[in-house]
Amino acid sequence: MSTSVERFDEEARRKFSRHGQTVVHRGELLRHPVYTRVLHWTVAISFILSLLSGFAIYSAWLFRWLTPLFGGGPMTRFLHPWFGLVFEIFFFFQFLNWFAPMVWTNNDSRWMRRIRQYTTNTEKVESEDVGFFNGGQKLYFWAIVISAVLFLITGLLMWFDNLTGRWVVAVSYVIHDIAGLVMLAGFIIHIYEGTAAQPGTFRAMTNGTVTEKWAWTHHPAWYRAVTGRDPRESYEREQRRVANRERAIEEWERDQDTRDHV
Ligand code: HEM
């Protein structure tokens, strides 16, 4: 991406970090600066509002349950395109902000071939070539990019439906709905991966930091790049530390047992 975009992102990160703080304690690494976090949560809120209002007018069954949240049917229909527009604008900035680390590489294609091991948690630590984002995260990002483009084009065609032919509007409805369903599936997987499936990930988007242990476990190449340390060595050192600690506790317990019996 051009240097003017990089300059814009740098400037935005600098300005936002003046207003919000990211405290990085010992044993932690900065993962997402304030600017990224503000964009992420603005995108997330506008996306959820678009999703809820969209599904409210998509299905007759959901209409009954969801439209009262937005003040009734006509209001929901009125608000939905505006929520969508807010999502589009903020996601555009997130797109610029994340374009560089989201570029697809051969490492990501290799990651995709190992996706079964990833989902079944077979490996304790990720492969050494996994950088700031893994292949699955990049796939999700690019799926959002494609969906955002489709949402925008088809959304505008439906919003201003008197400007084009009826069949164009009809096709737009179908594409818009399919993109919405794909995004819903991706969103559910994303929440699971960002919370329960990978403990320690959620704080990356709240505090902005992660533990070094999290970094070498999930993104070893990024860990190596920011700390200059070998992720495998760090992992093995941690394993030895835990084993020594457990041994010490066992010895202490044995010692206590013998004392109790004397
Ligand atoms: C509301 C619930 C959500 C939660 C709990 C959540 C959580 C997270 C977390 C913890 C990360 C950082 C992952 C990392 O640093 O490795 C992240 C990244 C990301 N989020 Fe969300 N997020 C949510 C909603 C959304 C929504 C609605 C979107 C867009 C439609 C979105 C798009 C992304 C993208 C593209 C990334 C970077 C790639 C990835 O980690 O998958 N998130 N999210």
Query: What is the average pLDDT value for the chain, to the nearest integer?
Result: 94
CA 144 to ligand 1: nearest atom: 30
For the Cβ of 37 lying below 6 angstroms from any atom of ligand 1, the answer is no
**Mean pLDDT over residues 214-220, rounded?**
96
C-alpha to C-alpha distance for 3 and 116, rounded to whole angstroms: 38
Flag whether pLDDT at 88 surpasses 90.
Answer: yes
Percent of the chain past pLDDT 90, that is, above it, reads 82
**Does 99 have pLDDT greater than 70?**
yes
- Which residue bears the tokens 């589009």? 88
Buried b / exposed e over 235-253, threshold 16 CB at 10 Å, is beeeeeeeeeeeeeeeeee
Looking at residue 136, its pLDDT comes to 96
Tokens of 197: 């499936």
Ligand 1 centre to CA of 242 (Å) is 31
> What letter would DSSP give residue 18?
H
* pLDDT surpassing 80 at residue 114: yes
Distance 194 CA to ligand 1 centre (A): 7
Please give the single-letter amino acid code of residue 247: R
Mean pLDDT of 181-208: 96
Please give the Cα distance from 52 to 159 (Å, whole number).
Answer: 18
Average pLDDT estimate for 15-37: 93
Whether 141 lines ligand 1, by a CB cut-off of 6 Å, is yes
pLDDT score recorded for residue 166: 93
Beta-carbon contacts of 39 under 8 Å, excluding residues fewer than 6 positions away, are 90, 93, 94, 97
| Residue 230 amino acid letter | D
Q: Are 248 and 237 in contact (CB under 8 A)?
A: no
- Residue 156, classed as helix, strand or coil, is helix
- Joined together, the tokens standing for residue 8 give 């814009």
pLDDT mean over 148-173:
96
- Judged against a pLDDT cut of 70, whether residue 191 lies above it is answered with yes
Nearest CA to ligand 1 atom 28: 44
Q: Tell me, using a 6 A CB cutoff, whether residue 191 lines ligand 1.
A: yes
* Half-sphere exposure in the Cβ direction for 144 (13 Å, CA): 24
Ligand 1 close to Cβ of residue 205 (< 6 A): yes
For atom 38 of ligand 1, the residue with the nearest CA is 137
- H/E run at residue 210: strand 209-211
User: Is the CB of 87 within 6 Å of ligand 1?
Assistant: no
Residue with the smallest CA separation from ligand 1 atom 27 is 44
